[in-house]
Structure 1
Amino acid sequence: MFGSNDAPTTKPNGSVGVDGSVDREARRNLWKTTLKIGTWNVRTMNHGKLDIVTRELDRNDVNLIGISEMRWTGKGHFTTPGNHVVYYSGKDTRREHGVAFIANPDVARCVLGYNPINERIITIRIQGTPMNISVIQAYAPTSASNEEEIKTFYDDLQMAIDSINKRDIMIITGDFNAKVGGQSTHKNVMGNCGLGEQNERGEMLIDFCQENHLIILNTLFMQHPRRLYTWTSPDHSTRNQIDYILVQKRWRSSFMSAKTYPGADCGSDHQLLMSTMKFKLRRKKQQRKPTRYDVSKISDSYRVEVKNRFQKLLEDDPEESTPEELWQEIKTVITDTAQKTLPKRENMKKPWLSEEVFKLADKRRKVKERGLDKDDNRQDYRNLSRRIQKQVRKDKTNFIKQKCAEVERDSVTNNTKDMYRNIKLLTNKPTHRLNVLKDEAGNILTEEEEIKTRWKQYCENLYASMRRKYT
């Protein structure tokens, strides 16, 4: 409340009317929400597991999840058939380690950029108000790694922190393979709600948090031990807390909870760890994508209507119109007629997993909810995991056979467009976009506007040098 009744209600984006109201455009791009951010070690995202993971994220209403041990090669981002956007970073050739972010459609519209640093660290920046939020997903070396690998990891993580805008809310999520314990003398770094005994890696993590003014969020909230442990041994006799969410101390009050969700299941020995924070997202301005129509299904009605409308344009004496006006009239004829008579082109990248896989995944999740402490439940869980893998392989084989049959059919009917599209789908290695660029000084640019400005400068300098050469 303001002290005076005449004072306007100032909004974070600055779009305030005379009467203190926010304009309609601002309301459409700004809304208050509780943002759910988490981390999950999925133990590989191969063999169709991505669809199972995104299904679990929707079921638990997760907005943004950091993924550890993805085991994909390359770097980039892409949109799934369910409109989730995956930003990932892995090794160039070997399928090991790997980190990623999966953003639901609401958060994906607010992403300013991401930076795939290496196979263990990736960052993402989300537009909000009154400030933006930067999230780092990390996957630390395991206990079998040597000290040099661990030191390199923390050095790279420190560089990632230093590269983040100091005004942003910073969150670090991931699998740190460290135990900070339930009791600690470092009250400014962690609470008393941890789990287990502290080890040497845990001390390194605590020292790292002290240097960067971070606090371990999932040790602050009183929870049942079932909501604290994040990893379970294969025989289910040992449970540890090795996945963490780290936040800056000054933003501690923005977080309402941090706990694991044992009911979420993707066949991993790690639990889904999630935090809930109060945050206001703001959509990024995006260009509207053009509608794509299936031109292979052009009907006679489309041809007749386009022909009649073109005939009317000729009767109106087009020579009196400017080229721009004439082009707009032709464009309107084609697009309006297509909208009325042509179907939209279907997405070629449809999920190839059958419903049987998801039914088996639901059964496996229910077995996990009953508890894996009993031998019978553990055996049922393993049997269902084997059945899921077997069904996934079967679905993959059926998908390839189906596409091969479509290629043969299109070859017979001379439908070369769809034929080559299916051949490309079967033979080409998928290449995803990578929106990262370096400036003249070698600094990494991740946001779209910075990348556009850099390309503009590059082209201007290029053509300026060419003009000097030929003049």
Structure 2
Amino acid sequence: MKGSGESPSREATNSMRGRKTRYNPKETTSINITKTKLKIGNWNVQGLNAPGKIDVLIDECDRYKLDLVALTELHWPGQGRSRHKNWEIIHSGPDTSRREKTVGLLLSHTAAKSLLSYECISDRLLIARFNCKHVKLTIVVCYAPTNSETRPGDTANKDAFYNQLDDVVSNIPKHDIQLVVRDMNAQLGDDNIHKLTWNSPDGKTVNQIDHTLVNRKWRNSLKDVKVYRGADVGGDHNLAITTVRLSLAVLKQQKKQLKFNSSNLSNRDILASFNATIGGKFNILAELDDTSDINEEWANFTDTVNSAAREHLGYRKGKQEEWISSESRDLISRRKRAKPSLGSDYQELNRQTRASLRNDKKAWYSKIADDLESAARSNNMREVYQMKNILIGKTSRRASQIRDVNGNIIKDEAARLQRWSEYFKGLLNADEPEETIDFSVFTQAEELNINMDPPVREEVDKALGLLKRNKAPGVDNITPEILKDGGDVIREWLLRICQHVWKNEVTPAEWGKGIILPLPKKETSPTVVTTEASPLLTSLEKCFQPFYSRE
């Protein structure tokens, strides 16, 4: 083990439990796999429910350039994964509404893209596995019970925790780099000031209770563990940073679609220039014979619309409004400078900082409420619901873990893809009917009077009117607003494509593609598959669907 202070070895710990662990010489091999360093923090934050505390935490993580941060005592109920600024946080807490314990893992943008799997085991244990160059990294975040949580002489609670921890570690793949980042609530090591991680509220006692363990095979890849007393989130625990010689490898992901700012089409000048760009290309193609391949016709349309949208409409920009005032920022800086002493000055500054942040939060909520009331008066219900979700603190839930039919979390990437294949085969395919219908017994019905003429402009206009706004685009990245508000040039081009499809009875190949969107579901039992999926179709494919039911 490397870390702040000494701790009983795994062999000694197993021996104390009546087990024997044989020494394996192969485990002594030390491997340095890369020159890149990964910085992993370990911090007991003593709750993240106070206004502005998570913002201060993220600012500190950015300041120390951390990649991962193991968190304990978040005081968040339930389990889940959410986003805060450019960071993501996984938390594992109690199922009840009581805000106690809870462990978590804070991921930087790069670490989030390297995450292979995670499992929320209990309110004291969380495990996550990351993709790295040449090897995988598994991190176990744990928070040990304290003496005050158990009756004198009763060690059942502690034994249950350590047995569960031992089972978790024993199930980690042997070839992985294994890091156990833990708040053990037990004093170990000497009184070296650079290793002391906890200060008592009275400022008289300083102990070393936060540690990082690494498996013997990779011990030389762990380069340093150091306590940073200057980091501050308003608690009595210090930040411990573990430096590992390791490089995260980003998983291969689909390129994120950037949505066009379709609201700019309400500007007449922008709309005119947008139509002029598309019209120039359309006029050239209109002079050509319409016997060209439908896939080529569709590619010309999507390429032209996307190019014009990038040039004239631009992309939507996310709103991250800063609600913490400059006065609160100044108090946070003063509190940070006063932390090493942990005296009465620090306690007073901590009280003032928390009060100032609460006032800032109230002022921000008041502003959101005024905006909501203004949106309601203008009958803008979309903005009303957006403001309502901000007020109640509702955030978008990330897709939960993929489970097999037995409810077990699937950690292997190939197995997850196979599970998706099984899911869609069951969703989209039906069993063969046991009985077949003999159509020869039916008499011939009257010939139906169905309009078989090619689509006309009035039908295209009607179909566009049925498209709903504010819907996500498909693989073509063309929103319904662009088709509805894009002007006559786009509508004429759509008519040309629809007539081509109707005449040749062939649709573009891209119409058969959809973006698979995972939708998280609430777990009602241990055996449910907690993620379903829905495909996003292209807007023009939706526009063409009314022609299938013409009268």
TM-score (norm 2): 0.67
Q: Does 1:300 align with 2:303?
A: no
One-letter amino acid of the counterpart of residue 262, structure 1: R
Any idea what SS the aligned residue of 1:72 has? coil
1:446–1:75 CA distance, 2 compared to 1 (3 A): farther
Return closer, same or farther for 1:58/1:424 CA change in 2, 3 Å cut-off: closer
**How far 1:65 sits from its partner (Å)?**
0.9
Distance 2:432 2:424 in 1: 12
Task: Tell me the alpha carbon deviations over residues 382-416 of structure 1, each in whole angstroms, 9 at most, x when there is no partner.
Answer: 11111111112111111111112222333344444
Amino acid in the other structure paired with 2:145: P
Assess if the C-alpha contact under 8 Å between 1:72 and 1:96 holds in 2: yes
Q: 2:371 aligns with which of 400, 406, 425?
A: 406
Deviation, 1:330, is 2.4
Structure 2 equivalent of residue 230 of structure 1 = 197
Q: Which residue is 1:239 aligned to?
A: 206
Shift of 1:306: 3.9
Report the Cα offset of residue 251 of structure 1: 1.3
1:381 aligns with 2:346: yes
Whether the aligned pair in 1 keeps the contact of 2:274 and 2:309 (CA below 8 Å) is no
- In the TM superposition, residue 449 of structure 1 has moved relative to its aligned partner by 5.1
* Deviation per residue, 1:128-182 (Å, 9 max, x gap): 12211111110111211222221221222123213322211000002111223xx
Partner of 1:96: 100
1:344 maps to which residue? 315
Structure 2: how far apart are the matches of 1:329 and 1:335?
10
Q: How far, CA to CA, are the matches of 2:140 and 2:213 in structure 1?
A: 10
Confirm or deny that 1:42 pairs with 2:37.
Answer: no
Where 2:416 maps in the other structure, the secondary structure is: helix
DSSP 3-state at the match of 2:202: coil
The equivalent of 2:60 in structure 1 is 56
**Do residues 265 (structure 1) and 268 (structure 2) align?**
no
Q: Which runs of 5+ in 1 are unaligned?
A: 1-29, 181-193, 197-224, 373-377
Instruction: Report if aligned partners of 1:437, 1:451 keep a CA contact under 8 Å in 2.
Output: yes
SS at match of 2:186: coil
Matched residue, 1:319: 290
Counterpart amino acid of residue 342 in structure 1: L
Q: More displaced, 320-329 or 98-107?
A: 320-329
SS of equivalent to 1:360: helix
2:548 is aligned to none
Deviation at 1:443, TM superposition (A): 2.6
Cα shift readout 1:298-347 (whole Å, capped 9, x = no counterpart): 22234223433454426245733333333322222332222222243232
- Tell me the residue number matched to 2:15: none
Work out whether residues 273 and 312 of structure 2, in 8 Å CA contact, stay in contact via their aligned partners in 1.
no
SS class of match (1:357): helix
Range that drifts further, 270-279 or 427-436: 427-436
What's the secondary structure of 2:246's corresponding residue? Answer: strand
CA contact (8 A) 2:34 2:245 kept: no
Question: Match of 1:160, SS?
Answer: helix
Q: What is the letter of the counterpart of residue 41 of structure 1?
A: N
460-469 or 291-300: bigger deviation: 460-469
Instruction: Tell me what 1:179 maps to.
Output: 187
Higher mean displacement: 56-65 or 321-330 = 321-330
Distance 1:328 1:464, change over 3 A: closer
Describe the SS at the equivalent of 1:286. coil
Q: Is the 8 A contact 1:75 1:434 kept in 2?
A: no
User: Which residues of 2 match residues 3-402 of structure 1 at below 5 A?
Assistant: 32-47=35-50, 48-81=52-85, 83-92=86-95, 93-146=97-150, 147-180=155-188, 194-195=189-190, 225-298=192-265, 299-311=267-279, 312-313=281-282, 315-317=286-288, 319-348=290-319, 350-369=321-340, 371-372=341-342, 378-402=343-367
Does the Cα contact within 8 Å between 1:45 and 1:70 map onto a contact in 2? yes
In structure 2, C-alpha distance between the alignment counterparts of 1:354 and 1:120, rounded to whole Å: 35
- Comparing 443-452 with 401-410, greater Cα deviation is found at 443-452
- 2:229 alignment partner AA: P
Does residue 437 (structure 1) correspond to residue 402 (structure 2)? The answer is yes
Q: What's the RMSD between the two structures over aligned residues?
A: 2.4
CA shift in 2, pair 1:386/1:94, >3 Å: same
Letter of the 1:195 counterpart: D
**Structure 2 CA distance for partners of 1:468 and 1:265, relative to 1, 3 Å:** farther
Distance in structure 2 (CA, Å) of the matches to 1:302 and 1:470: 60
Q: Aligned partner of 2:124: which letter? A: R
- The alignment-based identity, stated in percent, is 30
Separation (CA, whole Å) in 2 of partners of 1:334 and 1:418: 27
- What corresponds to 1:419 in structure 2? 384
Work out the CA distance in 2 between the residues paired with 1:288 and 1:71.
35
CA contact (8 A) 1:228 1:259 kept: yes
User: In the alignment, is the contact (CA less than 8 A) between 2:264 and 2:270 conserved in 1?
Assistant: no
Q: How far off its partner does 1:121 sit? A: 1.0
> Which one-letter code corresponds to 2:315 in the other structure?
K
Q: Deviations over 1:17-41 (max 9, x none)?
A: xxxxxxxxxxxxx984111112100
User: Quick one: structure 1 residues 465 and 361, their matched pair in 2 at CA, closer, same or farther if it must change by over 3 Å?
Assistant: same
The CA distance in 2 between the partners of 1:231 and 1:104, in whole Å, is 25
Work out whether residues 67 and 174 of structure 1, in 8 Å CA contact, stay in contact via their aligned partners in 2.
no
TM-score, normalisation: structure 1 = 0.77
- Match of 1:102, SS state, is strand
Equivalent runs, 1:460-471 vs 2, <5 Å:
460-463=425-428, 466-467=431-432
Distance change >3 Å, CA 464–CA 415, structure 1 → 2: closer
Residues 232 and 87 of structure 1: CA distance in aligned 2, closer, same or farther (over 3 Å): same
The code of the aligned residue for 2:373 comes to E
- 5+ residue gaps in structure 2? 1-32, 437-551
Matches of 2:242 and 2:143, distance apart in 1: 18
Q: Which amino acid aligns with 2:81?
A: H
For the 8 Å contact 1:261–1:272, the answer to whether it is kept is yes
From 412, 420, 430, the equivalent of 1:455 is 420
Tell me by how many angstroms 1:362 deviates: 1.2
The Cα shift of 1:367 comes to 0.8
User: CA 1:427 to 1:179, structure 2 compared with 1: closer, same or farther past 3 Å?
Assistant: closer
Rounded to whole Å, the distance in 1 between the matches of 2:81 and 2:314 is: 28
- The offset of 1:359, in angstroms, is 2.1
